[in-house]
Amino acid sequence: METQQETWQNLHGKLFHQPITQLVEEAIIREQANGHRLKVCVGSDSHVYGDAINYATAVVFIREGKGAFTFIRKEREIQSISIKERMLNEVNKSVEIAYAICSILDMYGVEMEVHADINTDPEFKSNSALKDAMGYILGMGYVFKAKPYAFASSNCADMVV
């Protein structure tokens, strides 16, 4: 699914009205021209506020040895769902973006990981979605990372959700 009409922003709040595919390609061209080796990590997080759920999806560009930058999309939905369903919604939002940008990343030789804000410790409620999330992401052919290694979702998306 192409996300042409979405508004993306960076962590400083600067808005971008181009589709994520264009933002990703322009960033790769710019960064590779500057000699940076890149990896992209995609992850989503959510917070519940009453009957609303705020989601944030982050596309994080890691410059090997030279820091990182990110594009973030925020969404708000009014609904009441279980924690497992919410975790799987987060994963779906990440996979949607990963799918939209994977051909561009492949074209420029950039690796990608999909991060899930799901705890691997069974003591946490989010763990109920771990097997489903892992199966979905790995089944799509992407590299899967969960907490504590899922910084795109647990840190970057979490900062703005």
**Which structure tokens are listed for 49?**
């506020």
User: For residue range 31-61, what is the model confidence (pLDDT) as tens digits?
Assistant: 999 999 999 999 999 999 998 999 999 999 9
Reported confidence tier of residue 1, pLDDT bands at 50, 70, 90: very low
Question: Would you say residue 2 has pLDDT above 50?
Answer: no
Contact 42, 113 (CB under 8 A): yes
Confidence (pLDDT) at 159: 87
The one-letter amino acid code at 86 reads R
Contact 47, 154 (CB under 8 A): no
Least confident of 3-12, 16-25, 73-82, 89-98: 3-12
Confidence (pLDDT) at 160: 87
- Residue (of 133, 128, 144, 44) closest to 84 by Cα position: 128
Q: State whether residue 101 is helix, strand or coil.
A: helix
Backbone angles phi, psi at 105, to 5 degrees: -60, -45
**Which structure tokens are listed for 102?**
């994977």
How big is the chain, counted in residues?
A: 161
Confidence (pLDDT) at 66: 94
Where exactly are the structural domains of the chain?
8-160
- Report d(CA 137, CA 118) in Å as an integer: 13
Q: State whether residue 37 is helix, strand or coil.
A: coil
